[in-house]
A and B are shown apart, each in its own frame.
Chain A
Amino acid sequence: MSDTTHGVGGLTFDASKRVWPNELNVFGALVLIIIVFEMLGALLMGQSFLFDSQGRFGSIFNEQRLYIIVLQVSIVGIIAIGVTQVIITGGIDLSSGSIVGATAMIAMSFAQVAEVNGQPNPKAIFLEQGWVDLPVIVPVLVGLACGVTAGLVNGLLIAYTRIPPFIATLGMMVTARGIAKWWSKGQPISFPTQEFATIGNGFGGWMPVFIFVGLAILFQLILKYTVYGKHTYAIGSNEDAARMSGINVYRHKVLVYAIAGMLAALAALVLSSKNLTAQAGMGVMYELDAIAMAVIGGVSLAGGRGSIVGTVIGALIFGVIISGFTFLRLDAYYQEMVKGAIIVGAVVLDQWRQRYRALHA
């Protein structure tokens, strides 16, 4: 079938004509945005955005800025990996930010040291029970269990009460934030063990980036090469067809939301470890940032289309824009305003592109 053949209805199709992957468009947008910041930098600041124009780092890139760009998106990026899968099934997850808050609080209280500067740890939650200086596996497992439980509740609500994902996860968003505040009556939880601190600070601070990239590669492969991935796309594409084909749609949705909850919990472990403290307000608005990364990365809110690779590039666009604004010394207020415009713009562009493709396919 390598030759051009005549198909149904006398139309001619070229088998060698490859479909242009959407990820390349998103990557093009990333490059374009970097070029804009380079030009603005040259015009307004007299220095380069990403390149080492002053010879401070002894390499061609401004390594410090690259590090900040990647680091600041890697924690929300971990959440976005789960959110991407939820959106591909045609759902939405608003609860991930609150799951981060609740998980950080609960996990951190199992990661505390017994003594600080020779005194008993003043912040220790479980000092009386003697649950201090526990091996790092305990808070990690407790944290993951929290995330998976919250995700399971989301999934079971959506699958078996048939309420829209928006409502189910909105409920979880409010509830999980309540749990985060109730856990220590609003007090921050601090002084983790050395091993726990490694999760967010290991490898000279690059640990969150390694975790993010590792998880992104893992889930990209899972979505592409496993039955789980194929069914995730099928459900978002045509839920009735998926059901008629014998896919257990409800069980699959529960699994997808549980995985999203687990990834939110992982983000919570990295974040609380990196900050060496957990607070009830951790992760506020992260759910929307994660959704924005996915949408900018070409994941269709209608379901069925998108990839983890796209979301990772979307996350980088996010990081570049925030760093770019800091670089141009613009106030944080402007950053938020422009962030909103970019999210809307990305969806509008995607719609136009879909319509164009439908007309010219």
Chain B
Amino acid sequence: MDDVILETRDLTKYYGGIHALEGANFVLRKGEHVAVMGDNGAGKSTFVRQITGVERPTRGEIIFDGKSVSFAGPIEAREAGIETVFQSLALADDLNVPDNLFLGREKILFNLGPFSILDYKGMREATLEGLRKTAVKIPNIKNTIRHMSGGQRQCVAIARTATFHSKLTIMDEPTAALGVQETEQVENIIRNLKEQGEPLILVSHNMRQVFDLVDRIVVFRRGRIVANLRKDETDGQDVVAHITGAKTGAEYQNAA
């Protein structure tokens, strides 16, 4: 199974006595787009926080790109190749697009420690390349984030993942705060990632969006994975039944 990019075995997280995530076994193959669905508090965000290094799991193993990993923080996860678009976009409002894309990992002309000289030209070119790759349209990359719409901000955050040739992209509700046209733009970027064979985990509540975009749907309920459904073998009603607990996937009967 060397086409597996991410696998978790018995991934578990307790907050004190609360079992937020219990024995999650999850597999993502290269080039695959998977949606993570579930009600509020079902464990989706907890799951994402474990694999992006924001939190340390209580128990279990994460195997990323063939190696067992244990990230000390989100920066380590990013350096390993997991790029996350968080709900809070983590952009600096007063900086422009290349500055934000390269924040914390600036290209440098020559190294003088903290006073290293920035390679503005190199960063600008890499930014345009990243935007072209994701088909993101940002009219003027010299504009500061403050002067951009919500959709454009989201696009900048997504373009950041594409600029650095990440091995896995995770998006946490990328269109939750966007209007119709802006949502469409973000969905086009996701389709673009699919065409280029970039694996993706999409956390979303939007049933139409999930059926439009992904290959497989993993449903969380009360801290456990309760279903693993191929898109072409299921429908919206079926997924809702799993989310609400009316149904549980055959292989998960004894887990739930």
Contact of A228 among B89, B90, B105, B115 (CB under 8 A): B115
B140 touches A13 (CB 8 A): yes
A7 touches B92 (CB 8 A): no
B204 at the interface (CB under 8 A from A): no
- Tell me the smallest distance from the CB of A219 to a CB of chain B, in Å: 11
Contact of B92 among A11, A13, A15, A234 (CB under 8 A): A234
B139 touches A5 (CB 8 A): yes
Closest to A227 in B: B116
Binds B, one of A167-175, A242-250, A322-330: A242-250
Closest to B96 in A: A19
B116 touches A233 (CB 8 A): no
Residues of A176-225 whose CB lies within 8 A of B = 222, 225
B88 touches A240 (CB 8 A): yes
A-B pairs with lowest CB-CB distance, top 5? A245-B104, A13-B139, A246-B104, A304-B94, A8-B151
> A8-B182, A9-B181, A246-B75 in contact; A240/B139 too (CB < 8 A)?
no
> A8-B185, A226-B112, A255-B114 in contact; A234/B103 too (CB < 8 A)?
yes
- Tell me the smallest distance from the CB of B168 to a CB of chain A, in Å: 17
Contact of B137 among A8, A17, A245, A304 (CB under 8 A): A8
User: Which one of A17, A227, A230 has the highest number of Cβ atoms from chain B below 10 Å of its Cβ?
Assistant: A227
B78 at the interface (CB under 8 A from A): yes
Residues of A within 8 A of B75 (CB): 244, 246
Extra 5 A-B pairs, beta carbons < 8 Å, given A225-B117, A230-B99, A246-B104: A8-B151, A226-B115, A228-B114, A244-B75, A245-B103
Contact of A237 among B92, B117, B128 (CB under 8 A): B92
A8 touches B105 (CB 8 A): no
0 or 1 for each of B203-232: is its CB under 8 Å from A? (1 = yes): 000000000000000000000000000000
A233 touches B95 (CB 8 A): yes
Tell me the number of A-to-B contacts counted with CB atoms below 8 Å.
115
Residues of B124-159 whose CB lies within 8 A of A = 128, 137-144, 146-147, 149, 151-152, 155
Contact of B115 among A19, A227, A358 (CB under 8 A): A227
A241 touches B103 (CB 8 A): yes
Cross-chain pairs A/B with CB under 8 angstroms, 20 sampled = A1-B140, A5-B139, A8-B149, A8-B152, A9-B149, A9-B185, A11-B149, A14-B140, A15-B139, A15-B140, A225-B118, A230-B99, A238-B90, A238-B91, A241-B89, A241-B91, A242-B103, A247-B103, A304-B92, A361-B147
Contact of A245 among B90, B117, B143 (CB under 8 A): B90
B116 touches A226 (CB 8 A): yes
Residues of B within 8 A of A238 (CB): 90-93
B17 at the interface (CB under 8 A from A): no
0 or 1 for each of A315-335: is its CB under 8 Å from B? (1 = yes): 000000000000000000000
* Bound CA span A14–B75, Å: 36
* Bound CA span A231–B252, Å: 48
A236 at the interface (CB under 8 A from B): yes
B179 at the interface (CB under 8 A from A): yes
Residues of B within 8 A of A234 (CB): 92, 95, 99, 103
Interface of A with B (CB < 8 Å)?
1, 4-11, 13-15, 17, 19, 222, 225-228, 230-231, 233-234, 236-238, 240-242, 244-247, 252, 255, 304-305, 357-358, 361
- Tell me the smallest distance from the CB of B224 to a CB of chain A, in Å: 29
Residues of B within 8 A of A237 (CB): 92-95
User: Which one of A4, A5, A15, A226 has the highest number of Cβ atoms from chain B below 10 Å of its Cβ?
Assistant: A226
A246 touches B105 (CB 8 A): yes
* Bound CA span A228–B94, Å: 16
* Bound CA span A14–B118, Å: 27
Contact of B143 among A11, A19, A228, A231 (CB under 8 A): A19
B106 at the interface (CB under 8 A from A): yes
* Bound CA span A234–B112, Å: 19
Residues of B within 8 A of A11 (CB): 149
B74 at the interface (CB under 8 A from A): yes
- Tell me the smallest distance from the CB of A87 to a CB of chain B, in Å: 13
Residues of A within 8 A of B147 (CB): 19, 357, 361
Residues of B within 8 A of A1 (CB): 128, 139-141
Residues of B within 8 A of A304 (CB): 92-94
- Tell me the smallest distance from the CB of B92 to a CB of chain A, in Å: 4
* Bound CA span A200–B138, Å: 51
Closest to B153 in A: A8
Residues of A within 8 A of B255 (CB): none
Closest to A15 in B: B140
- Tell me the smallest distance from the CB of B126 to a CB of chain A, in Å: 15
0 or 1 for each of B21-54: is its CB under 8 Å from A? (1 = yes): 0000000000000000000000000000000000
